[in-house]
Amino acid sequence: MYLDPDVSHAVKILIVGHFGVGKTTCIGSISEIEPLQTEEEITEASEGFDDLTGTPDKTKTTVAMDFGRLTLSDTLVLYLFGTPGQERFKEVWEGLSRGALGALVLVDPERLHESFPVLDRVESFGLTYAIGVNRFDGTTDYPLDEVREALNLSDETPIVNCDVRSQQSSAKALVTLVKHLMSILG
């Protein structure tokens, strides 16, 4: 699917979050082109490093990046880059973050402590961000203001619920980020 010739603005957005939070799922559900994925089987070698308690059915992990595209309006296209979630791939972030305007930070309310190093990194790269709270089935329905408080977010940082398996829901989270970027950049 080729880009509409009227599109005049391209924006690079990162989709970030801790291991197994749903970054690849998010780009997969939202991309209008076949997403680029770099999934590899999780092997015994990662035992003790990759915590699968929240996602027992997970068999693969991103080892380099995800890539997708979403045309948001007649003139605006988003290029979406998903980072690997494992701490040992954190150097990859630096390259991926170059030229990015903002980041959608996916968090799992059951594993908020894993989001702190992610937020630290996003802030150290100077990226404007919004939070997408990815609700996994059968988990506690923590109110958004509690999640905001637990993550120690500033009042300006947008936070929305999302289900990354849904195209519509993922798009809503991205639109929240884009609106936030527009309000800051003018």
Name which of ligand GTP, Mg ion, none residue 83 binds, using a CB cut-off of 5 to 8 Å depending on partner kind: none
| Residues 54-73 contacting Mg ion, CB under 5 A | 62
Q: Which of 13, 14, 22, 78 binds ligand GTP (CB under 6 A)?
A: 22
Residue 7 or 167 with smaller CB distance to ligand GTP: 167
Among 13, 14, 25, 119, binds ligand GTP (CB under 6 A): 25
Minimum CB separation of residue 25 from ligand GTP in Å reads 3
Closest CA to 171 of 16, 31, 2, 17: 31
Tell whether residue 165 is a contact of ligand GTP (CB under 6 A): yes
83 binds Mg ion (CB under 5 A): no
164 binds, among Mg ion, ligand GTP, none (CB under 5 to 8 A by kind): ligand GTP
